[in-house]
Structure 1
């Protein structure tokens, strides 16, 4: 079986696909991962064969342009329309390369993250099944409307509907043939049609394990990370984690600040009990942590869930408020809105995450239920059956 994977131009959209791609290759199937040039290195670092597509448009440039056209200005949280427009521009470029590639390579099915809008076009053009692989709590602004074609046409951004119409993609429950969903039931806002539950297996990139990570901890370890939002929203979005680091200075904890290059520069001089790293895979770091503070990116949230780590989320944009609300309701984490973030509230929340029996127990319970789900090696035969049924 030949399987074509593709993802939107974000590592956070590519990484959830990697364990399933590994499982399919280990089962003897032929896999290709089609991404834009900026993600080629991430694909090959994962040991997967890459196909370069969509040359030309740069996602971050398109996103900055889209956000800048909004009334709120560049610093405002972008609307769903502003976020989708760059994805459409990328999809148009990707389709131009992927249609000819698909005609030559003849894959048996397409596996994609839902934001890779080229995927349904390729599946339709090639007459093969489309498998969506979610990345966490799915925002209902789009995916909750797949209940009917009418709902899609009334609620999806008009540019996106026009792009899919151009390729005769079905809009509604038949949009995808299967949805592999590693999101815990407790964190679901919607259940997409044809859902196949799966274990979330964290993969956050390749790296060398630092020696300090294997040394015994002297105090509880708190990871503070803020994803890649500073790359397109500006360094001001790092104010909350910087406040949290200062707030925890007198608490008997070790802080691992994984805030990227911008965060390192803003932090400046070294602080006691604060370890600053440019970047580190959460799949490597989370097993050693007692608590996580983040903006609530889906991949970040699920990496902590998989390892039973209690979380404090300070949501800022996109699906983050939704994920924060659902995680807090599950009992496995806490939420602080940006306006409610103070030194006192951070210390109070982190103390609860580390020593609160209820939140620690809930986080461990989520991890146990995730571990009980079918892993990627058990999902691979299901995809084989889907392909066989299409022949």
Structure 2
């Protein structure tokens, strides 16, 4: 059969889908990967065939100055009140309404070419199955137009389906409060109407979802899901020679993801504090950080090697501990290598707050629509920025899972001193109970169906759901 993957042009979104695409391709199916044309090189590097959308010379949609901005906190809280959410549930809602609706809006726009080009390709190529990134929401429209079955490929806790369920449950209360009963449907409506369809549950949820989250990280939703083991893939890179040799001392890796490094200088002061904490310890640290993340670091300790990038799949087998930001892609690499984890989590709310900053002097921890280092830095007018929490979107649930399973510890650079962080690192390196916890998490991970195991299920469900 023909399978079309539709992914947001970000490694954090694409890499989790690669092992599933490989499994389908290895089973003899034709696989294509559609994304922004600038992302074609990443797709071909993974041994897959790209379908470039738009012009590779043009910045992708999120870096446009007219990209959708986050919802104001007052609006977020009005919804949370109408939905009757407690404190924990409000964090799920904030993740969806203030964070995820922004990228969802990027590729359903009818004034940009991407959705139309995807739909034209689907009409011509006639895929049997479309597997779409929940933030690339023109995917299900292309599937419906071409008659394909379609499923969402989750890359984290399913905040979208969880929130859509809450919206459906409290429709009456939302209308009474003067709020839209479904803001995601409103974003998708112009594109759906252009192709003669209504935004129904199938366009919002998919016909089913592929969920790589282990038990304990899965949010309860009304969707049909296929569980699939998250197989880590972090890009195709030459294997560094220095990784051929086992380290003489315990090796501690530091990886803070590839997303916020694009637009935040100084890493909220986290990187300087962690490097100071490791200074003088009888360990070797490999810190995969770039120049903006190193802003504020006065001296690189002698036992620290900084390198902008090395695939964690290459690095993890040589490590005793990974310190990371809590992203699910980064979380998966140490799980597969039975490596204990230290998850950076400040425990603060996910709510973004609007602030005014000088466009030529980006603040530490602020996000501006249309700005990324090295890509789109030509903001010349004073614009509203957004103060981000000093943590990754999934940091708290990831930290809760790791700590709860005894597979690692939590690091809060806001509240812990350098001495306390040093003690956390030593405990993670030396405590055999944490190593046993990492083994337990590995066993849970290994018990999940592999991408190859899921292929026959995808074949069967495609036959059941495709049209024509």
Normalized against structure 1, the TM-score is what?
Answer: 0.88
> Residues 149 and 323 (structure 1 numbering): CA distance in 2 closer, same or farther, change over 3 Å?
same
Aligned residue number for residue 43 of structure 1: 43
Q: Does 1:377 align with 2:452?
A: yes
Aligned residue number for residue 102 of structure 1: 122
Does the CA-based 8 Å contact 2:140-2:206 persist in structure 1? yes
Q: Distance in 1 between matches of 2:431 and 2:222?
A: 34
| Greater alpha carbon shift after TM alignment, 162-171 vs 305-314 | 162-171
> Residues 157 and 359 (structure 1 numbering): CA distance in 2 closer, same or farther, change over 3 Å?
farther
Q: Distance in 1 between matches of 2:39 and 2:248?
A: 38
> Residues 173 and 234 (structure 1 numbering): CA distance in 2 closer, same or farther, change over 3 Å?
closer
Q: Distance in 2 between matches of 1:161 and 1:288?
A: 47
Aligned residue number for residue 372 of structure 2: none
| Greater alpha carbon shift after TM alignment, 153-162 vs 3-12 | 153-162
Aligned residue number for residue 179 of structure 1: 209
Q: CA deviation at 1:109?
A: 0.9
Q: CA deviation at 1:263?
A: 3.6
Which SS does the other structure have where 1:260 is aligned?
coil
Which SS does the other structure have where 1:242 is aligned?
helix
Q: Distance in 2 between matches of 1:192 and 1:253?
A: 47
Number of residue pairs matched? 385
CA deviations over 1:241-293 (Å, ceiling 9, x no partner): 22101111121111000012434676576531211111111111112111111
Instruction: Return the match for 2:149 from 129, 132, 147.
Output: 129
Superposed, 1:1-391 pairs within 5 Å as 1-55=1-55, 56=58, 58-62=60-64, 66=68, 80-83=96-99, 84-92=101-109, 93=112, 94-138=114-158, 140=159, 142-147=160-165, 150-151=168-169, 159-166=183-190, 167=192, 168-171=198-201, 175-190=205-220, 193-237=223-267, 239-263=269-293, 267=297, 270-315=300-345, 316-389=391-464, 390=466
Q: Distance in 1 between matches of 2:439 and 2:315?
A: 17
Name which one, 1 or 2, has greater alpha-carbon Rg. Answer: 2
Q: CA deviation at 1:176?
A: 2.0
* Structure with higher helix content: 1
Q: CA deviation at 1:304?
A: 1.7
Which SS does the other structure have where 2:309 is aligned?
coil
> Residues 63 and 227 (structure 1 numbering): CA distance in 2 closer, same or farther, change over 3 Å?
farther
Q: Distance in 1 between matches of 2:423 and 2:46?
A: 39
Q: Distance in 1 between matches of 2:454 and 2:95?
A: 34
Does the CA-based 8 Å contact 1:297-1:319 persist in structure 2? yes
Which SS does the other structure have where 1:352 is aligned?
helix
RMSD: 2.9
Does the CA-based 8 Å contact 2:108-2:188 persist in structure 1? no
Unaligned runs of 5+ in 1: none
Q: Distance in 2 between matches of 1:156 and 1:307?
A: 45
CA deviations over 1:325-361 (Å, ceiling 9, x no partner): 2322222222233422321221121122112222211
